[in-house]
Amino acid sequence: MSEIRLTVRCAKDENHAKVLRIDPALGLGYAETLAGLLDGSSPLYIYPPGEGSPIGKCAVCGAKLNCTVAQNG
């Protein structure tokens, strides 16, 4: 069975990371949309997250977040 993983990683410290398993029934598009919302790059934002926003920032140190989506199987 296929698996979709969304990895959320701090740009400053790779130990500040989390891997989420996304139900394959939701699809790759869902995972990519979620990744964009988490790292602040989504075109769904009317006003992109700025300096004062917690979106797209590491909850531990405040550095930028990078999200990647991978599908296995």
Above 90 in pLDDT, residue 30?
yes
DSSP per residue, 3-42 = EEEEEEEESS-TTSEEEEEE-GGG-HHHHHHHHHHHHT--
Mean pLDDT over the full length of the chain: 95
Each residue's pLDDT tens digit, 31-66? 999 999 999 999 999 999 998 999 999 999 999 999
DSSP structural state of residue 67 = E
pLDDT band at 2 (very low <50, low <70, confident <90, very high): confident
As a whole-number percent, the residues of the chain with pLDDT over 70 amount to 99
As a whole-number percent, the residues of the chain with pLDDT over 90 amount to 93
> What predicted TM-score, i.e. pTM, was given to this entire model?
0.90
- How many independent structural domains does the chain possess? 1
Q: Which domain holds residue 56?
A: 3-72
